[in-house]
Amino acid sequence: MLTFGLIGCGSIGGFLARLLTREDEELADRARLAAVVGRDPVRAGTLAAEVGRPATDVAGLLARRDVDAVLVCTPSGTHAGLAEAALRAGKHVLVEKPVDVSPRAADRLIAVARETGRTLGVVSQHRFDPAARLARTAIESGRLGRVTSVMTELAWWRGPSYYASGGWRGTPALDGGGALMNQAIHAVDLVQWLAGPVVEVAAHTARLAHPGIEVEDVATASLRFANGALGTLLATTAAYPGRTARTAVNGDRGSVVIDDDELAYLHLARDGEDAPAYGAYGAADQSAEHAAELARDRTRDAAGLLYQPHRDQLLDFCDAVREGRPPLVDGAAGRQAVAVVAAVYASAETGRPQRVDTGAPADGRQEERVP
């Protein structure tokens, strides 16, 4: 059993607090929530009353001997500082994405986790979507052949009230960036988990629909992957009224498309198969053949989020602590996503292609696995 303390009582903190206190026999056997911390005493008190746990402060939470792990769900630019304090207090740490707003901050945090021997994970729940797991298995097994191209598009809308809901939103210091760092960081993590690391980008960013913010609401990038594949990235919060996030991975023997976290298209070449010379134009979808593998709990929280992917990531984190292994999304994986975002911003600023800062590998890092 891993007992968590929660720092941050905003939308994602509230969601995770409800997840940890809802009726779920398997999760309840491995994780429980002890207390919550929030900068706003009223909001913290409201959440504490809702989930039936006490509200405290950071010092009080870190001093509790019954707290084994801390969930950090505060503004992005505060993640590394709070997570480091928790690690040094002997706690394991699971940080909401991004791990922080720069690769350097991530490096410091990874070093502290190594020094203290505590487990560090980063919330990136889309790796736990059934469609993503199926795609990863197909790619790893070679069923797509050589991966040749990747396309990821997050065309969302965020109205003025969203940015006004927190003074940190839309600021470089605490948000770290705009549509790319805050919203599309999930897509950046997912495409690298599926297709391998991005090593170079050429990018543009703009602020076109939200004049009141300090960061981009549109980002585009051309991506080059370590395996030679090429890709494109669109991240925007200026696509009214908002569409779904979509990722496609194409190979010379198959293709897979994930749309709104669901499998939208899959074709894996069968033995002896030869596609028409001019292609199938979207025909020959095999996704229906995998319905059993795609089954999932579709229960949603009041915030609109599915419980299942976050639940499965929490289970993986608890198992990682117990087994003494890295979680599926460890600090190095969180850093990798932030490094690509940082390279996009640098390329947009300089007008030149930018190599991705890969950093030093974490000691003891195990090969990533499908959960």
46-78 pLDDT, tens digit each: 999 999 999 999 999 999 999 999 999 999 999
Proportion of the chain above pLDDT 90, given as a percent: 89
pLDDT of residue 223: 98
pLDDT of residue 278: 87
Count of CB atoms situated within 10 Å of the CB of 316: 19
User: In the numeric block, which tokens belong to residue 140?
Assistant: 């790893």
The candidate with the shortest Cα–Cα distance to 157, out of 205, 208, 98, 96, is: 208
Position 370 confidence tier, pLDDT thresholds 50, 70, 90: very low
Per DSSP (E only), the strands in 39-107 are 55-56, 69-72, 92-95
pLDDT at residue number 367: 35
Across 95-99, 165-169, 362-366, which has the greatest mean pLDDT?
A: 95-99
Answer for the pair 38, 12: CB distance below 8 angstroms, yes or no.
no
Examine the pLDDT at 240 and tell me if it is beyond 90: yes
Least confident interval from 162-176, 220-234, 256-270: 162-176
Q: Is the pTM of this model over 0.85?
A: yes
User: Is the pLDDT assigned to residue 104 strictly greater than 90?
Assistant: yes
Sheet order of strands, 31-37 included? 55-56, 31-37, 2-7, 69-72, 92-95, 120-122
262-316 pLDDT per residue, tens: 999 999 999 989 888 889 888 999 999 999 999 999 999 999 999 999 999 999 9
Residues 216-229: tens digit of each pLDDT: 999 999 999 999 99
CA distance 287 to 7: 40
pLDDT in tens, 108-122: 999 999 999 999 999
Query: By the 8 A CB rule, do 347 and 218 touch?
Result: no
**pLDDT tier for residue 156 given thresholds of 50, 70 and 90:** very high
